[in-house]
């Protein structure tokens, strides 16, 4: 007959079970984080995309060097 702890695990068993559950959640969170990060790396957008478009426009002669530098400055420092 067992007294005190269910299933005869004792205090050590419960601690081990909780730690395994936390490790599983941490692993799951890590996998989700990596998936989101990989998705963002392969999705066009953001400042890098805007800088590439700006560089292409400058290379095609659509904008002057002064316009290119001004707009690049705004992209890199939007609050200034």
Q: Tokens standing for 46?
A: 């953001």
pTM > 0.75? no
Please give the average pLDDT of every successive group of 10 residues along the chain, which has 80 residues: 58 79 93 85 69 94 95 82
Provide the pLDDT for residue 38: 79
pLDDT at res. 56:
95
**N residues, the chain:** 80
CA torsion, points 74, 76, 79, 80, in degrees to nearest 10? -60
The residues, any chain, with a CB within 8 Å of residue 51's CB and separated by 6 or more, are 72, 75
Looking at residue 25, what is its pLDDT?
Answer: 94
Structure tokens at 6: 């269910």
Q: Could you tell me the residue ranges of all domains in the chain?
A: 10-43, 44-80
């Amino acid at each position: 007959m067992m007294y005190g702890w269910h299933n005869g695990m004792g205090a050590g068993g419960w601690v081990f079970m909780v730690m395994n559950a936390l490790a599983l959640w941490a692993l799951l969170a890590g996998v989700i984080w990596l998936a989101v990060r990989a998705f963002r790396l392969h999705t066009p957008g953001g400042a890098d995309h805007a800088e590439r478009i700006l560089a292409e426009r400058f290379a095609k002669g659509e904008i002057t060097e002064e316009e290119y530098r001004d707009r690049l400055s705004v992209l890199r420092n939007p609050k200034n």
